Structure formats: C-alpha cells, structure tokens
Amino acid sequence: MAKSEVTKTGSMVVKRGLAEMLKGGVIMDVVNADQAKIAEDAGACAVMALERVPADIRRDGGVARMSDPEMIEKIQAVVSIPVMAKARIGHFVEAQVLESLNVDFIDESEVLTPADESHHIDKFAFKPPFVCGATNLGEALRRISEGAALIRSKGEAGTGNIVEAVRHLRSIIGDIRKITKADSAELFEWAKRLQAPLPLVQEIAETGWLQVPLFCAGGIATPSDAALAMQLGAEAVFVGSGIFKSDDPSPRARAIVEATTHFRDAAIIAKVSRNLGAPMTGIGMDNIQERFAERGW
C-alpha cells in the first residue's frame, strides 16, 4: 500500500482547522477540574482554563496572569475536549509555557493584565493556534497579520452585559459588508483607515469574510445572548463568567449549548430558557472602573 511520509504540523492550515472544528459550539471558562467536567458534561466544545473568571478579576483587581500550570494539567487530565488557556497580551514567555504544556489554543487575552503596551505576540512563532480579541475590523486584521488563527469580539468580559460584544460584532461585520462593496481604489483608503495590511483588506473584498473564523466573547449570560451573537454573524461563542457565576451552572451551560446550535429557532430558545435560576447579576457599562476592551493595540 502506498504510504505518505511527508507530514507537516503547526501550519496555518491545521491552526485554522481547529478553529473551524469549534464552530457552532460553546467554549466555557473554567477555573478548576470540577468545573471543566461540568462544562464537558453540558456539551462544551472546548474549555478555557483560567485562574479567576473575568467577573472575579474585575472585583479583586490587581494583576491578572497566566494560570498555574498544575491547574491546566489537572483540567487536561479530566476532559477529552480541547483545552485553551490565556496568556497576557505581549507576554510571549507565558505563551511559551502554555505551548510546552500542550494546550490546544492560546488566548492572547485583554482579560489578563497586558505585559506589553505596544507589541502583541508573534503568533507565527508558536505551534498551537492563537485566538485574539478585537473591537473592530482593523484590530482583527492586525491580529491576523500577526498569526492569529481565530478572532473573537472582546465584548466587556465579566459584566454579564452583551452590549459591547454586539457593538464589536456589528462593527467588524458591518465593515466587512462595506468592503465587499468597495471598488479597488477604495480598498487603499480602507487599509489606511483600518491601519491594516492592504492584502488582507483586498482578500476580504474578494471572499466576503475574514481569513479566520469570528467568534463572540464578552458578556454572554443567557441562551438568548448566545443566539443573538450567532444571528449577528458570530460563528461560535465563548462564555466566561456567565455560567459559573450564575445560580445553577450546569443547566444554564446546557441551555446555552442548545441555543447556540438552534440559534434561529425561537421556540427552542424559549424552551431551554425556562427555569434556569438567576443569571449572573451583571453590571452596566457606566458602573465599571476599567474597560478590558481598551487593552490591546
């Protein structure tokens, strides 16, 4: 039998490939192995291992950093779905550590305290794929040009308030629509305005979509929030504090998974939204001290 011998790992194709596999799913923030198990049991397509959920980071203040490797390994040991973990913006050594731990996806995240105020990580230098947050299309394309395999809206993590994620999704997807209609001369202006590489802008004009999948993160607390993000054009959702800061995490997690799959079916969303107990309390944007979304450049 003919055998193939040339194999390649760590390529953009396999990095974006994993992002493709997460589509239509829910990635849940977890802070320990017990929560990871609950998340997998509820149908999460991946978990994000972090030390404190964003709501607690917001409450406690101080510097938020990469998680304890021991905690990440314990989570890897109990679940069979992909395990993601966060590194601080620009902190390429934290990313190296996460790579050595064999995490499946690295989130260069504004939820942690930035380590570099002008540079993001050179993501091409790593074998695991990276996901990065963005508030607008320019930011998304800059992250893609640095090697991100997946973009998520930043939203405003830890608030339980979907308003910022909606703003970011509308901005990113709205600009993609406009670029699709622009003529070739206008694309130069778009690249300038977005502070993004021209070839990436031209590619969007041609294909009508980002080079990598676009997910929603930041403020999802209910099944309807998840379906809203999906109907706006997100291809999957991250849920952070929304699950484990609610009264009864397990049924809520399950309901958000079902609502993400059946995001256009209001009857199913209504059915799964019944009797979930109280969602996380949440906070209004006027009452927050610091906007995580403003971190990143």
Q: Where does this chain bind other proteins (CB under 8 A)?
A: 1-4, 6-11, 13-14, 17-18, 20-25, 40, 42-46, 80-82, 99, 102-105, 127-129, 235, 254, 257-258, 261-262, 265
Closest CB to other proteins among residues 72, 134: 72
Tokens of 79: 């679940």
Under 8 Å CB-to-CB from 190, ≥6 apart: which residues? 175, 178, 179, 182, 201
Exposure string of 193-220, with b = 16+ CB inside 10 Å and e = fewer, is: ebebeeebbbbbbeeeebbbbbbbbbbb
For residues 133, 220, 291, 94, the Cα torsion angle rounded to the nearest 10 degrees is -40
Q: At closest approach, how far in Å is the CB of 161 from other proteins?
A: 26
Q: Which of 37, 74, 86, 127 is catalytic?
A: 86
Q: At closest approach, how far in Å is the CB of 138 from other proteins?
A: 25
Q: At closest approach, how far in Å is the CB of 276 from other proteins?
A: 15
DSSP-derived 3-state class of residue 158: coil
Tokens of 88: 């601080």
Closest CB to other proteins among residues 113, 211: 211
- Is the separation of the CB atoms in 69 and 77 below 8 Å? no
Q: At closest approach, how far in Å is the CB of 10 from other proteins?
A: 7
The span from the CA of 61 to the CA of 152, in Å, is 24
To the query of whether residue 86 is one of the catalytic residues in this protein, the response is yes
Could you tell me which of 183, 57, 39 has the C-alpha nearest to residue 110? 57
The span from the CA of 51 to the CA of 46, in Å, is 17
Closest CB to other proteins among residues 164, 235: 235
Closest CB to other proteins among residues 22, 48: 22
Q: At closest approach, how far in Å is the CB of 23 from other proteins?
A: 6
Closest CB to other proteins among residues 37, 65: 37
Tokens of 97: 């550590």
Closest CB to other proteins among residues 57, 257: 257
Could you tell me which of 39, 36, 68, 63 has the C-alpha nearest to residue 51? 68
- Is the separation of the CB atoms in 259 and 127 below 8 Å? no
Q: At closest approach, how far in Å is the CB of 151 from other proteins?
A: 16
User: Which residues are known catalytic residues?
Assistant: 86
